[in-house]
């Protein structure tokens, strides 16, 4: 067998062998082992966010990819008379706006430039002028570019104006320390195949219970009904519809491995170490980052295409792929860029191996990148 591919992407990510091995046994959805795993995961996820059931927080697992989790929250939490404000500075903010349109939710969108963070001051001014707003949605790590929005400050603004705060922490949760109480988040959504390093299969929403209870009877869809999904899990420990059994078993193993690594803090350090090797290596070759460093997160980095007109991303991608390295295309509105992720079971030496492969490919293609 060819050496396994390493994924330098925003997900699905490279996973450990033991996480994959946790999926080797068929598992019935009513099996005790499975129901216990679901229970462990729901409690474990709350713990990672520094909250608990006793403090009034609940974890709801939703089948599907991350988007299903966001859509479940947005389409269940925003009531008929409510107005959702979406703070958007990238493709994932726009995705929430699209959901709001499809579900015909009352909503407003405040847009910021793709290479700028969501401004807490502008958010406060908007909320001051728009008392009709009831919920605010924002992305934490905007995977489009790799920037981190200032969730702590935006959370404080939301609470000052008494709004429910919904955060898409898909690509950050597990790889960035997050305290839901401190950040004043009411709904935090992430998925199985990002920084907790499980395999795809489900999303999860960490919810302030009082806010979750208000979603009863409000859903626009049967399968994405957040409240009913929670009520089902609470009543029997089971899912309403076929659960992603093996993905759940892999995820429980992934949570154990996160703990063994030293928790979110240690994982954050490893991802930051990956990013350091990546930045030093890419800058050494002559590549330039799209974002200014102050707003750049340590999850994924956007690199601008080099000035050399002979650079062809498809060739570059394919030649890296043949060497076992999977990078990611860009998604920017106003610049040509590609992305490299620092997350998953990859370590600084893997990033160095990627840098060496990048050099090799550029030499093979006779590309010269001027060091700025
Ligand atoms: C990955 C990601 C999602 C969800 O994407 P899926 O493809 O549905 O898993 C949502 N928001 C952000 C910021 C992401 O990085």
What is the tens place of the pLDDT at every residue in 289-339? 999 999 999 999 999 999 888 899 999 999 999 999 999 999 888 889 999
Is the pLDDT score of 1 beyond 50? no
Question: What is the rounded distance in angstroms from the CA atom of residue 338 to the CA atom of residue 327?
Answer: 8
Is the pLDDT score of 188 beyond 80? yes
Could you tell me the domains of the chain? 6-12+262-364 (3.90.1150.10), 17-260 (3.40.640.10)
Mean pLDDT score of the chain: 96
Q: How many CB atoms lie within 10 A of CB 372?
A: 8
Tokens of 232: 């089902």
| pLDDT (0 to 100) of residue 333 | 81
Shortest-distance Cα residue to atom 2 of ligand 1: 170
Is the pLDDT score of 38 beyond 80? yes
Question: 363: Cβ–Cβ under 8 A, 6 or more apart, which residues?
Answer: none
Question: What is the rounded distance in angstroms from the CA atom of residue 78 to the CA atom of residue 1?
Answer: 50
Is the pLDDT score of 2 beyond 90? no
Shortest-distance Cα residue to atom 5 of ligand 1: 66
CA of 367 to the centre of ligand 1 (A): 33
Calculate the dihedral angle through the C-alpha atoms of 205, 302, 261, 25, rounding to the nearest 10 degrees. 60
**Ligand 1 atom at minimal distance to the Cα of residue 141:** 13
CA of 50 to the centre of ligand 1 (A): 23
| pLDDT (0 to 100) of residue 3 | 63
CA of 159 to the centre of ligand 1 (A): 26
Identify which of 63, 190, 191, 201 to mutate to test ligand 1's pocket (most ligand atoms within 8 A of the CB): 191
Bond before 345 cis per omega within 30 degrees = no
SS (H, E, C) the chain: CCCCCEECCCCCCCCCHHHHHCCCCCCCCCCHHHHHHHHHHHHHHHHHCCCCCCCCEEEEEEECCHHHHHHHHHHHHCCCCCCEEEEECCHHHHHHHHHHHHCCCCEEEEECCCCCCCCHHHHHHHHHHCCCCCEEEEECEECCCCEECCHHHHHHHHHHCCCEEEEECCCCECCECCCCCCCCCCEEEEECCCCCCCCCCEEEEEEEHHHHHCCCCCCCCCCCCHHHHHHHHHHHCCCCCCCCHHHHHHHHHHHHHHHHHCHHHHHHHHHHHHHHHHHHHHHHHCCCECCCHHHECCCEEEEECCCCCCCCHHHHHHHHHHCCEECEECCCCCCCEEEEECCCCCCHHHHHHHHHHHHHHHHHCCCCCCCC
Is the pLDDT score of 74 beyond 60? yes
Question: What is the rounded distance in angstroms from the CA atom of residue 181 to the CA atom of residue 49?
Answer: 8
CA of 67 to the centre of ligand 1 (A): 6
Is the pLDDT score of 86 beyond 60? yes
CA of 108 to the centre of ligand 1 (A): 21
Q: What residues are in contact with ligand 1 under a 6 Å CB criterion? A: 10-11, 65-67, 92, 139, 143, 168, 170-171, 191
Mean of the pLDDT values across residues 340-355? 97
CA of 79 to the centre of ligand 1 (A): 24
| pLDDT (0 to 100) of residue 370 | 62
Percentage of the chain exceeding pLDDT 70: 98
CA of 170 to the centre of ligand 1 (A): 6
**Ligand 1 atom at minimal distance to the Cα of residue 193:** 9
Is the pLDDT score of 70 beyond 80? yes
Is the pLDDT score of 28 beyond 60? yes
pLDDT in tens, 214-235: 999 999 999 999 999 999 999 9
Shortest-distance Cα residue to atom 12 of ligand 1: 170
pLDDT in tens, 358-371: 999 999 988 877 65
What's the gap between Cα 57 and its chain centre? 20
Mean of the pLDDT values across residues 133-146? 98
Tokens of 6: 């390493």
């Amino acid at each position: 067998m060819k050496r396994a591919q390493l994924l330098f992407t925003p997900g699905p990510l490279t996973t450990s062998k033991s996480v994959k091995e946790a999926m080797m046994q068929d598992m019935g959805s009513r099996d005790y082992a499975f129901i216990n795993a679901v229970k462990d995961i729901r409690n474990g996820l709350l713990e990672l966010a520094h909250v608990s059931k006793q403090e009034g927080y609940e974890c709801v697992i939703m089948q599907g990819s991350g988007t299903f989790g966001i859509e479940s929250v947005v389409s269940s939490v925003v009531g008929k008379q409510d107005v959702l404000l979406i703070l958007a500075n990238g493709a994932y903010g726009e995705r929430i706006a699209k959901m709001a349109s499809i579900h015909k939710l009352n909503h407003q969108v405040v847009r910021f430039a793709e290479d700028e963070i969501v401004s807490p001051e502008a958010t406060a001014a908007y909320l001051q002028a728009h008392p009709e707003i009831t919920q605010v949605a924002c992305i934490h790590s905007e995977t489009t570019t790799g920037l981190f929005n200032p969730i702590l400050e935006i959370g404080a603004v939301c609470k000052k104006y008494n709004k429910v705060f919904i955060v898409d922490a898909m690509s950050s949760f597990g790889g960035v320390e997050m305290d839901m109480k401190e950040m004043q988040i009411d709904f935090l959504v992430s998925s199985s195949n990002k920084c907790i390093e499980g395999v795809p299969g489900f999303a999860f929403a960490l919810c302030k219970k009082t806010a979750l209870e208000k979603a009863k009877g409000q859903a626009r869809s049967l399968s994405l009904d957040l409240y009913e999904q929670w009520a089902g899990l609470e009543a029997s420990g089971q899912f309403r519809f076929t659960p992603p059994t093996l993905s759940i078993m892999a995820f429980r193993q992934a949570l154990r491995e996160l703990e063994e690594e030293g928790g979110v803090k240690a994982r954050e350090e490893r991802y930051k170490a990956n990013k350091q090797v990546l930045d030093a290596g890419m800058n050494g070759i002559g590549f330039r980052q799209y974002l200014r460093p102050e707003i750049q997160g340590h999850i994924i980095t956007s690199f601008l295409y080099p000035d050399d007109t002979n650079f062809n991303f498809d060739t570059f991608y394919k030649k890296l792929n043949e060497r076992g390295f999977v990078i990611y295309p860009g998604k920017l509105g106003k610049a040509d860029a590609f992305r490299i992720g620092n997350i998953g079971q990859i370590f600084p030496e893997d990033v160095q191996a990627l840098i060496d492969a990048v050099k090799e490919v550029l030499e093979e293609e006779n590309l010269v990148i001027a060091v700025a």
